[in-house]
């Protein structure tokens, strides 16, 4: 019974063990589905299910018929044009990271948007090139077609180095898409949970550093070799410093002017975004101005700056990805696919929460997978989304992926009709734009301080991932980051923070005894809280911590007691000890038996349960023993294990728990388990955990139930007095005794307890 008034309540119920609670409150009989049932349901078809599948794989069927043309179309048109100009420039710039012609960056800004428009579930992200992915693709490209090589035997002899690199970039993009599609069809969109926010942040920040270093050669106008693999950044910096005296001043000045102007105007856009309906397209403006000045002043001829050259007009025929390249770059393809999805999904979640709609992780994998396959087959490179480009699409009024399609049309117009006008665009301008777009990722350095304050494990994941990416490269760095992240999880579960808890405030609340002053512990009862699952990695640690909490090793106590019993039996047999009505009488102290004689080659029997019935008297192990026999005293009679945070126990954990319980039971310490999950208890029953020594009666509903039961069983006084609610101003009040000696007074516990 529960009664309450205001902020106070009174509970009046019996002490419940799991058995007693099950007897008073029978469970409903439920039929759990088997694997075969799930399989039948998966292949069962109905009109409703067919419609649901159709709308799941083609989300456009759900949102396009409900599209509000009057309210949304104008905003989508403005957003599409604004986003398209940004996507074009980023496509041109990020193609330099892939080590291919900038014109192929326009392909990546066009093809994937068409498929995502039909298959994607996010309405606001802008699908297209992303600098981290571009660098990952570029690294893979250099593995197959390295700098200064004459090509590779994987391709036809008539293919140029540029064509081979485009082919490799398209092939690995298709491979990444295949991985994404397979994971999406298997409905494993949850795989992204293994890439935590600190890991993604550290990875993208490290990648931003690599991207920035790779663009220095364009800003300085140097011809630097392309390096890949571990320590590639340091080799690049070494080459740059060797050739620093060859810096092209025109490229350097142009880059500085571009970066300063773009940075200032972007800050103005951010600060006054509430007053400026459409952000100033400063990147487009500076690109047009730089291209015009470069053409009018003949920068390429007079100053030797590097320009992007002729852009291919129109679209080239699709390619068939190479299985041989798949085999060479399978790990790179998987890493690119996972990173692309993780970045895209995280950005999509931001806008889904902001605009209150749902996204489907598995369907996003399918959408990105098909988009990358489509893009790769048409000579593009891997795509995802970027927060900056998506922010432009959303902030300029974009309401749906129609804005994305319009941005793709802008890229198509540039490819088909306007691209030739960009022939004299300096590469240093694109390098400067890449560096400016890295600002958001480089600002993530500020997260280190917050992470250190909030969670040092997460902070270490960020730092280790960042350092690994910078030193080992993107692929090995990501693997190292994920490995370290999982290691921290294992470490936290393998070495959890076990605590001894006590009653707080004379109530039914139990907390860490070290954190509070007003604590109450029944004499001889220790309550041990386990905050993690018990499995093979921490089973031994759990056992050690229990022993440390109680202050003794139960096996050592059991061994000592069994040895004492052997010695007492031997003394009785030799007539040294005699049992009298007044107790034991020792007639001689000259009998000496060594440990070897007492063991008698039966050492293993010292760990067997004690059978006191073998002696004609009862032994109080905490009292003085005859013949100066010394056995360590045990000052507790009950050990309560709080399993409220134990989510699972594996076979090794069960074995360790079972042996731990038996060890304490054999030295007359009662063990109780409280707050265990019903499914976990069911698992213990199915795994034959219980036997003659361990019964289901040791499990209790709450810690307080177990405490009250242990006190009642030992005939001790309950240390907290209960006053009727009518006698005080509060509806219920719990008052405790101040005289600690009252613990030792005998009391008969009632059948029902109030607290």
**Eight-class DSSP state of 311:** P
* Dist CA 667 CA 621 (whole Å): 9
Helix %, strand %, coil % for the chain, to 5? 60, 10, 30
With CA atoms as reference, report the closest residue to 135 among 371, 443, 437: 437
Phi-psi label, residue 395: left if phi above 0, alpha if psi -120 to 50, beta otherwise: alpha
Q: Structure tokens of 274?
A: 């509430």
State the pLDDT at residue 311. Answer: 84
Q: Contact 440/388 with Cβ under 8 angstroms?
A: yes
For 4-27, b/e burial (b = at least 16 CB within 10 A) is eeeeeebeeeebbbbebbbeeeee
Q: Measured between alpha carbons, how far is 298 from 105 in angstroms, rounded to an integer?
A: 25
pLDDT one-digit tens code per residue, 199-252? 988 988 998 899 899 889 989 988 888 787 788 899 999 999 999 999 999 999
User: How far apart, in Å, do the first and last CA atoms of the chain sit?
Assistant: 11
For the cut 60, the answer to whether the pLDDT of residue 144 exceeds it is yes
CB 674 within 8 A of CB 700: yes
pLDDT tens for 313-367 read 889 999 999 898 999 999 999 999 988 998 888 888 888 888 888 888 889 999 9
Q: Where in the chain is the domain with CATH 3.30.750.24?
A: 499-552+634-754
**Mean pLDDT value of segment 691-709:** 92
Q: How far does CA 653 lie from the centroid of its chain?
A: 24
Q: At 3, is the pLDDT very low, low, confident or very high (cuts 50, 70, 90)?
A: low
Note the pLDDT of residue 698. 94
Q: What angle do CA 190, 196, 201 make, to 5 degrees?
A: 130
Q: Which residue's structure tokens are 């970045």?
A: 343
String of DSSP letters for 34-84: PHHHHHHHHH---HHHHHHHHHHH-THHHHSTT--HHHHHHHHHHHHHHHH
Mean pLDDT of the chain: 84
Tokens 């040895």, residue?
563
Query: Residue 167 is encoded by which pair of tokens?
Result: 């082919």
* Confidence grade of residue 149 (pLDDT, cut at 50, 70, 90): low
Cα–Cα distance, 15 to 8 (Å, whole number): 21
Instruction: List pLDDT tens digits, range 59-107.
Output: 999 899 988 888 889 989 998 998 998 899 889 989 988 989 888 999 9
CA distances from 749 to 280, 491, 753 (A): 79, 44, 8
What tens digit of pLDDT does each residue of 418-431 get?
888 888 999 999 88
Q: What is the pLDDT of residue 663?
A: 92
Q: Cβ contacts of residue 256 below 8 Å, gap of 6+?
A: 432
Cβ atoms within 10 Å of 63's Cβ, excluding its own: 16
3-state secondary structure of 688: coil
Distance of CA 588 to the CA centre of its chain: 69
Cα gap 366→359, rounded to integer Å = 12
Each residue's pLDDT tens digit, 327-339 = 999 999 999 998 8
State both tokens at 322: 């190479």
User: What is the pLDDT, as a whole number, of residue 720?
Assistant: 55
What pLDDT is stored for residue 391 in this prediction? 84
In this predicted model, what pLDDT tens digit does every residue of 584-634 receive, in sequence order?
676 666 666 555 555 554 555 556 666 666 666 677 788 877 777 888 889
> Please, which residues have CB within 8 angstroms of residue 424's CB and are 6 or more apart in sequence?
291, 294, 295, 299, 300, 307
Answer for the pair 343, 384: CB distance below 8 angstroms, yes or no. yes
Q: pLDDT band at 735, cuts 50/70/90?
A: very low
Tokens 């307080």 belong to: 704
Average pLDDT over every residue of 26-52 = 79
The two three-digit tokens of residue 250, written as one number: 């025109």
| Residue among 44, 310, 95, 53 nearest 215 (CA) | 95
Residue 440 banded pLDDT, cuts 50, 70, 90? confident
Indicate the pLDDT class of residue 743, thresholds 50, 70 and 90: very low
Checking if the pLDDT of 368 tops 80, the result is: yes
Q: What's the pLDDT at 721?
A: 46
Burial (CB < 10 A; 0-12, 13-18, 19+), residue 296, is: exposed
Mean pLDDT computed over 481-501: 90
Q: Does an H or E element contain 578, and which?
A: strand 577-580
Q: Residue 410 has what pLDDT? A: 93
pLDDT above 70 as % of the chain: 88
Domain over 499-552+634-754 is classified CATH 3.90.220.20: no
Contact 324, 172 (CB under 8 A): no
Instruction: Give Cα separations from 478 to 173, 199, 328 (angstroms).
Output: 18, 9, 18
* pLDDT for the residue 113: 95
pLDDT greater at residue 333 or residue 275: 333
pTM of the model: 0.77
Q: Which structure tokens are listed for 81? A: 């044009």
Question: Average pLDDT for residues 655-672, to the nearest whole number?
Answer: 93
pLDDT in tens, 664-699: 999 989 999 999 998 899 999 999 899 988 999 999
Whole-number CA gyration radius for the chain:
37
Q: Concatenate the DSSP letters of all residues of 619-643 into one string.
A: --TTSPPGGG--------SEEEEE-
- Quick one: pLDDT at residue 193? 72
Strands 2-5 and 577-580, by their bridges, are: unpaired
């Amino acid at each position: 019974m529960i009664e309450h008034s205001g902020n106070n309540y009174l509970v009046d119920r019996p002490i419940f063990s799991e058995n007693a609670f099950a007897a008073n409150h029978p469970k409903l009989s439920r039929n759990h589905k088997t694997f075969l049932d799930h399989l039948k349901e998966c292949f069962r078809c109905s009109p409703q299910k067919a419609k649901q599948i159709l709308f799941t794989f083609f989300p456009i069927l759900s949102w396009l018929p409900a599209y509000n043309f009057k309210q949304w179309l104008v905003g989508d048109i403005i957003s599409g044009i604004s986003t398209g100009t940004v996507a074009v420039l980023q496509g041109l710039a990020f193609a330099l990271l892939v080590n291919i012609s900038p014109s192929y960056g326009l392909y990546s800004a066009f093809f994937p948007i068409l498929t995502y428009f039909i298959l994607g579930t996010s309405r606001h992200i802008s699908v297209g090139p992303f600098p981290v992915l571009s660098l990952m693709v570029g690294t893979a490209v250099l593995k197959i077609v390295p700098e200064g090589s004459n090509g590779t035997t994987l391709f036809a002899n008539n293919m140029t180095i540029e064509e081979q690199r485009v082919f490799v970039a398209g092939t690995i993009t298709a491979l990444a898409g295949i991985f994404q599609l397979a994971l999406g069809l298997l409905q494993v969109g949850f795989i992204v949970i293994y890439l935590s926010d600190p890991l993604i942040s550290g990875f993208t920040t490290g990648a931003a550093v690599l991207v920035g270093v790779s663009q220095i050669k364009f800003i300085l106008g140097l011809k630097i070799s392309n390096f890949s693999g571990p320590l590639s950044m340091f080799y690049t910096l070494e080459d740059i410093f060797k050739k620093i005296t060859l810096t092209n001043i025109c490229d350097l000045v142009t880059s500085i002017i571009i970066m300063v102007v773009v940075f200032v105007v972007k800050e103005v856009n951010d600060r006054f975004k509430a007053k400026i309906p459409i952000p100033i397209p400063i990147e487009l403006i500076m690109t047009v101005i730089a291209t015009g000045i470069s053409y009018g002043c003949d920068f390429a001829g007079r100053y030797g700056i590097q320009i992007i050259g002729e852009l291919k007009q129109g679209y080239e025929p699709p390619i068939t990805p190479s299985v041989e390249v798949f085999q060479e770059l399978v790990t790179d393809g998987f890493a690119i696919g996972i990173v692309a999805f993780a970045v895209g999904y995280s950005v999509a979640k931001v806008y889904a929460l902001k605009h209150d709609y749902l996204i489907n992780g598995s369907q996003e994998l399918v959408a990105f997978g098909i988009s990358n396959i489509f893009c790769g087959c048409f000579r593009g490179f891997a795509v995802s989304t970027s927060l900056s480009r998506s922010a432009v699409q959303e902030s300029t009024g974009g309401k749906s992926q129609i804005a994305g399609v319009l941005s793709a049309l802008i890229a198509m117009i540039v490819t088909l009709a306007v691209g030739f006008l960009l022939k004299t665009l300096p590469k240093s301008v694109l390098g400067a734009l890449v560096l400016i777009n890295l600002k958001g990722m480089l600002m993530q350095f500020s997260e280190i301080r917050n992470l250190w304050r909030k969670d040092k494990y997460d902070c270490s994941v960020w730092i280790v991932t960042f350092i690994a990416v910078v030193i080992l490269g993107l692929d090995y760095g990501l693997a190292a980051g994920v490995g370290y992240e999982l290691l921290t999880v294992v470490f936290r579960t393998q070495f959890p923070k076990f605590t001894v808890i006590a009653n707080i405030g004379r109530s039914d609340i139990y907390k860490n005894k070290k954190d509070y002053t007003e604590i109450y512990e029944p004499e001889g009862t220790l309550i041990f809280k386990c905050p993690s699952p018990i499995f093979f990695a921490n089973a031994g640690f759990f056992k050690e911590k229990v022993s440390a909490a109680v202050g003794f090793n139960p096996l050592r106590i059991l061994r000592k007691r069994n040895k004492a019993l052997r010695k007492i039996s031997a003394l009785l047999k030799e007539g040294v000890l005699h049992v009298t009505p007044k107790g034991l009488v020792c007639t001689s102290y000259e009998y000496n038996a060594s440990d070897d004689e007492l063991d008698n080659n039966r050492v293993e029997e010292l760990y067997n349960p004690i059978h006191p019935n073998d002696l004609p008297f009862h032994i109080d192990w905490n009292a003085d023993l005859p013949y100066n026999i010394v056995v360590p005293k045990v000052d507790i009679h009950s050990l309560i294990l709080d399993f409220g945070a134990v989510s699972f126990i594996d076979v090794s954990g069960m074995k360790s728990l079972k042996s731990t319980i038996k060890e304490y039971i054999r030295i007359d310490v009662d063990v109780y388990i409280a707050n265990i999950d019903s499914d976990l208890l069911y698992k213990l029953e199915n795994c034959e955990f219980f036997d003659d020594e361990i019964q289901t009666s040791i499990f209790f509903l709450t810690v307080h139930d177990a405490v009250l039961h242990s006190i009642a069983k030992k005939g001790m006084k309950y240390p907290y007095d209960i006053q009727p609610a009518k006698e005080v101003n509060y509806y219920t009040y719990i008052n405790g005794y101040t005289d600690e000696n009252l613990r030792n007074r005998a009391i008969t516990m009632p059948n029902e307890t109030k607290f």
